[in-house]
Amino acid sequence: MREITQNKLEVKAEYFYEMLQSIKKRPGMYLGKCSITRLKSFLDGYIAARQDLGLSLTEQERHFEKFQEWVQERLRLNRLRHGIA
């Protein structure tokens, strides 16, 4: 009889910043091309996937909830006229 073993994936509780560093190093691999709009879409999809899995946001992820506001302030965009997504 064949024995089946289960592999358990160990995931760090906080790895969001590491993921962002990977995106920074190779944006084309993650986003297709370097684009703030694509980054926002990627992050929205990432957060949605975690929610679908029933996972709550980590501290690092909660820090990025204000990402669009930060971009708008940094680029001096009018909130009513512009959005990055």
Classify residue 15: in a domain, yes or no. Answer: no
At 71 the pLDDT is: 82
State the amino acid at position 71 in one-letter form. V
Q: What gap in Å lies between CA 44 and CA 10, rounded to an integer?
A: 24
User: Helix 36-52 and helix 67-74: axis angle, to 10°?
Assistant: 170
Angle between helices 16-25 and 36-52 (to 10 degrees): 150
Predicted structure pTM score: 0.68
**The pLDDT of residue 33:** 92
Cβ proximity of 64 and 44 under 8 Å: no
| Full domain range(s) for residue 46 | 30-85
- Dist CA 4 CA 15 (whole Å): 30
Examine residue 68 and state whether it is found in any structural domain, yes or no.
Answer: yes
Q: What percent of the chain has pLDDT over 70?
A: 75
Inside any domain, residue 35: yes
Q: What is the mean pLDDT of residues 68-80?
A: 76
Say if residue 77's pLDDT is above 80.
no
Residue 44: phi and psi, rounded to 5, are -60, -45
- Cβ atoms of residues 41 and 85 within 8 Å: yes
Considering the domain boundaries, does residue 16 fall inside one? no
Per the structure, how many domains does the chain have?
1
What are the pLDDT digits (tens) for 21-48?
Answer: 999 999 999 999 998 889 989 999 999 9
